[in-house]
Amino acid sequence: MSADSSAPDRIVIVGASLAGLSAAKTLRAEGYSGVLVLVGDEAHRPYDRPPLSKQVLRRDFGAETTLPQPADLDIVFRLGMAAARLDRTERAVILADGERLPYDRCLVATGTRARPWPNPAEAALDGVATLRTRDDSERLAQRLRDRPARVVLVGGGFISFEVASVCRELDIPVSVLVRDAVPLAGAVGAPLGGFMAEVARGAGVDLRLGASIARMEADPRGRLAALVLEDGGRIETDCLVVAIGAARNIAWLDGAALATDRNGLRCDRFCRALGADGLPAGGIFAAGDVAHWPNPHDGDALVAVEHWGNAVAQGRTAARNMLAPGPDAMVAHDHLADFWSQQFGLTIKLVGLTAGADSFAVVRGSMAERRFLAVFGKAGRTVAAASVDSARWLPAYRAAILQGAPFPPLIGGLDAPRRIETQVLEDAAR
């Protein structure tokens, strides 16, 4: 009998965050009673990241981020300690201090880190920060409390817009530098990105599109003083937040002959990690932001979904499959991506993936009212829906996406615009 068909009694989860904890909870709920080790390079118990760019920065009373954890999980934590290497032959995770943790199932849930500013000297300046961890967020919250004269964000994604929104709430002047012509377009397409740009400007954000930083200026003590832009413009600031995306934490897998690349760790629909040979690597699974997996809702095209909901669901699926006696008993990961963001007083929700979408239409409410639901189509089928302060209809559209309903779906009825205008998405939402 191969090691993978006997019931496991040593499971090591690397990455003590959302996906890892979700897997740990599922393992126990499914009756797993063996050793369960959770390795995390951060010193904290698993915590939640979405509040880091929202409530924590606003210093909302009671912005508790530690994830709730049932008392009886019986987890052996190795916190503040990175996994340095994976020994597939001996089936062991080797920690930075040399400790070997043997496993018969291992879950890779190491997520991503903030992509650093490409110029290391500039990235090291006092006043240049990124936002991924609780420590990052607390430091930034402290900076905001000192009321900087201007905060600058570079990057046109959700984190950038959320932080800008908090700055405006705190009445701190803020600039957002976006290299593309439209912000957020990668996630929600140009029409919705354009809408959010208007909203941000209306809230007093100095939003600069098609802008990039040529170089940074520092004072003699190595503190950021100003940014010089490619167009020659200059912005004085001592607080820059770099929010230019995420990079997968896979360096520790080097040498393990796994199928890794910049998109993360490849896995199959059962969350089994693949080896460099393209075959499932014995006993190794992946979940969360680090996983690169075939999406059944998009003809098995490979995706890496960097959303909260996926990390929870994929952790759960991977855990079930780690306990399965064989592939026949495994369940496929078929989570339909979903995501939310809060900014400028609006709640934005998205279901499905907009990548490759070729058409867009507002089917409930209107952009003018700032309350609407829009759908995304790809080759005549509905692939995603986004709501702005109208989440109530989202479940219906979610069902339509799951059915691959013709685009545009669910027309007419309550809150319906007089006329539905379908816009063509250039560049397939990118």
Answer for the pair 94, 85: CB distance below 8 angstroms, yes or no: yes
d(CA 8, CA 36): 10
Pick out residues in 313-352 that bind ligand FAD (CB under 6 A). Answer: 339-341
For ligand FAD (CB under 6 A), the number of binding residues is 36
Answer for the pair 362, 373: CB distance below 8 angstroms, yes or no: yes
Mark the segment that binds ligand FAD (CB under 6 A) among 68-76, 107-115, 210-218, 256-264. 107-115
283 binds, among other proteins, ligand FAD, none (CB under 5 to 8 A by kind): none
d(CA 312, CA 301): 21
Q: Does 304 help bind ligand FAD (rule: CB under 6 A)? A: no
- Residue closer to other proteins (CB basis): 73 or 396: 396
- Residue closer to other proteins (CB basis): 302 or 411: 411
223 binds, among ligand FAD, other proteins, none (CB under 5 to 8 A by kind): none
Pick out residues in 388-427 that bind other proteins (CB under 8 A). Answer: 392-393, 395-396, 399, 410-416
d(CA 109, CA 18): 9
For residue 18, the minimal CB distance to ligand FAD (Å) is 4
For residue 320, the minimal CB distance to other proteins (Å) is 16
Instruction: State how far the alpha carbon of 342 is from the alpha carbons of 49, 159, 161, 240, 276, in Å.
Output: 13, 10, 9, 21, 40
75 binds, among ligand FAD, other proteins, none (CB under 5 to 8 A by kind): none
Instruction: State how far the alpha carbon of 196 is from the alpha carbons of 24, 53, 165, 360, in Å.
Output: 38, 17, 11, 15
Token pair of 247, please? 């990079």
- Residue closer to ligand FAD (CB basis): 305 or 361: 305
For residue 29, the minimal CB distance to ligand FAD (Å) is 18
Token pair of 109, please? 């849930």
Among 82, 176, 373, 385, binds ligand FAD (CB under 6 A): 82
Mark the segment that binds ligand FAD (CB under 6 A) among 10-18, 215-223, 233-241, 294-302. 10-18
Count Cβ atoms below 10 Å from residue 105 Cβ, excluding itself. Answer: 27
* Site track 334-373 with other proteins (rule: CB under 8 A), x = hit: ------------------------------x---------
Query: At residue 420, what is the residue type?
Result: I
How far from the centroid of its chain's Cα atoms is residue 354's Cα?
15
d(CA 20, CA 43): 15
Pick out residues in 214-273 that bind other proteins (CB under 8 A). Answer: none
d(CA 429, CA 193): 10
Among 195, 270, 293, 308, binds ligand FAD (CB under 6 A): 308
Nearest to 182 by CA among 349, 430, 414: 430
Q: Does 53 help bind ligand FAD (rule: CB under 6 A)? A: yes
d(CA 375, CA 135): 37
Mark the segment that binds other proteins (CB under 8 A) among 19-27, 271-279, 338-346, 387-395. 387-395
Cβ-based burial of 381 (10 A; exposed 0-12, middle 13-18, buried ≥19): middle
- Residue closer to other proteins (CB basis): 324 or 416: 416
Strand partners, 371: 366
For other proteins (CB under 8 A), the number of binding residues is 13
- Residue closer to other proteins (CB basis): 10 or 381: 381
Q: Which residues contact 18 (CB under 8 A, 6 or more apart)?
A: 46, 48, 49, 67, 111, 288, 308, 311, 312, 315
Among 23, 27, 37, 39, binds ligand FAD (CB under 6 A): 39
Among 112, 321, 343, 387, binds ligand FAD (CB under 6 A): 112
Among 307, 316, 335, 364, binds ligand FAD (CB under 6 A): 307
Q: Does 359 help bind ligand FAD (rule: CB under 6 A)? A: no
Please give the order of strands across the beta sheet that includes 346-352.
Answer: 338-343, 346-352, 381-388, 371-378, 359-366, 422-424
Chain contacts with other proteins (rule: CB under 8 A): 364, 392-393, 395-396, 399, 410-416
Chain contacts with ligand FAD (rule: CB under 6 A): 14-20, 39-42, 49-50, 52-53, 82-83, 109-112, 131-132, 159, 249, 252, 288-289, 306-309, 311, 339-341
